[in-house]
């Protein structure tokens, strides 16, 4: 005679921790906030219809506003605010988490901020970009790019407990600073998101930074990027949104077009990799 209740419990105990993740890739146009939102929401719908549990959006997806010195102020919003409320409606509809950066207005200050929207539609937490992109001498971005002239630096580095996994968020140029990713790993992150507007033609940097950050911290990274040339500023972006596993392997990568990239993650595999190669446990604290 079979103990069905016992069988059910045993099956649950051995159920694999799997989830579906998506990375959205668009070209946001300066001065066209409403059109950017509409374009991105169509792709969120596609991600939801494909069963995504977590969907990551690019950096500054409502508009980068490089072509307009004060444009970022005009499109910035409080968090929570109208845009995060609309994201919350999509999150509730599809039962998924959403993360991606936008200009945040907080009192008299502005930030490049990624909210984490939960499936109940609420803002579970935020991450304000800590490593701003200040490159005044970049000859390929005349007259250079000084992000700190627009937004302030974030300070908090948090990992958020969800019913999927422990999630940490990062934004674009953070990739060049491994300390941030190590802190997230030490705080228990299993999945790290990266919302980006990584400048072309540095695809080589984009890929090896993502693979290194995933491998050295034994985490999944879901990275979503702006793609193509923004027509008003002339800025061009790498795109190539991708999902990288804890072994540093690219498991999914976007083609050179607007769209979504979808991948299945196996968190049990993450646990096996950490057990077989306990790099974090073997760190020299001295």
> What is residue 19's three-state secondary structure?
strand
Distance CA 56, CA 242 (A): 10
How confident is the model over 224-281, as pLDDT tens digits?
Answer: 999 999 999 999 999 999 999 999 999 999 999 999 999 999 999 999 999 999 998 8
List the one residue out of 62, 151, 169 whose CA is nearest residue 105: 151
Average pLDDT, the chain: 93
CATH superfamily of the domain spanning 18-276: Carbon-nitrogen hydrolase (3.60.110.10)
CA distance 104 to 123: 13
Please say if the pLDDT value at position 8 is more than 70: no
Predicted local distance difference test score (pLDDT) of residue 16: 62
139 DSSP 8-state letter: T
Q: Is the pLDDT of residue 111 over 50?
A: yes
- Asked whether 52 and 261 are in contact (CB, 8 A), the reply is no
Structure tokens at 131: 């490593």
Contact 280, 185 (CB under 8 A): yes
CB 136 within 8 A of CB 146: yes
Q: Which residues are catalytic?
A: 59, 129, 172
Question: Where do the domains of the chain lie?
Answer: 18-276
pTM value is: 0.93
Residue 132 has pLDDT above 90, yes or no: yes
Q: Answer left, alpha or beta for residue 156, where phi above 0 means left and psi between -120 and 50 means alpha.
A: beta
What letter would DSSP give residue 198? P
End-to-end CA distance of the chain: 58
């Amino acid at each position: 005679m079979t103990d069905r209740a016992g069988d059910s419990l045993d099956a649950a105990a051995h159920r694999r921790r799997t989830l579906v993740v998506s990375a959205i890739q668009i070209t946001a146009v300066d001065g066209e906030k409403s059109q950017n939102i509409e374009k991105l929401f169509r792709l969120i719908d596609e991600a939801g219809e494909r069963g995504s549990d977590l969907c990551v959006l690019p950096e500054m997806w409502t508009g980068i506003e490089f072509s307009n010195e004060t444009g970022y102020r005009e499109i910035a919003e409080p968090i929570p605010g109208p845009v995060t409320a609309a994201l919350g409606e999509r999150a509730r509809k599809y039962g998924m988490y959403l993360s991606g950066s936008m200009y945040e207005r907080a009192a008299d200050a502005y930030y490049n901020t990624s909210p984490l929207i939960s499936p109940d539609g609420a803002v579970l937490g935020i991450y304000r970009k800590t490593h701003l992109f200040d490159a005044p001498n970049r000859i390929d971005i005349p007259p250079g790019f000084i992000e700190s002239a627009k937004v302030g630096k974030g300070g908090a580095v948090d990992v958020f407990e969800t019913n999927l996994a422990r999630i940490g968020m990062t934004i674009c140029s953070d990739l060049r600073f491994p300390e941030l990713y190590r802190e997230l790993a030490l705080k228990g992150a299993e999945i790290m998101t990266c919302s980006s507007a990584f400048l072309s033609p540095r695809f080589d940097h984009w890929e090896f930074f993502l693979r290194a950050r995933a491998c050295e911290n034994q985490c999944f990274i879901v990275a979503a990027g702006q793609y193509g040339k923004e027509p008003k500023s002339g800025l061009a972006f790498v795109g190539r949104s991708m999902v990288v596993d804890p072994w540093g392997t690219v498991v999914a990568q976007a083609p050179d077009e607007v769209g979504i990239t979808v991948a299945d993650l196996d968190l049990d595999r993450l646990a096996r990799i950490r057990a077989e190669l306990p790099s974090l446990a073997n760190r020299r604290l001295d």
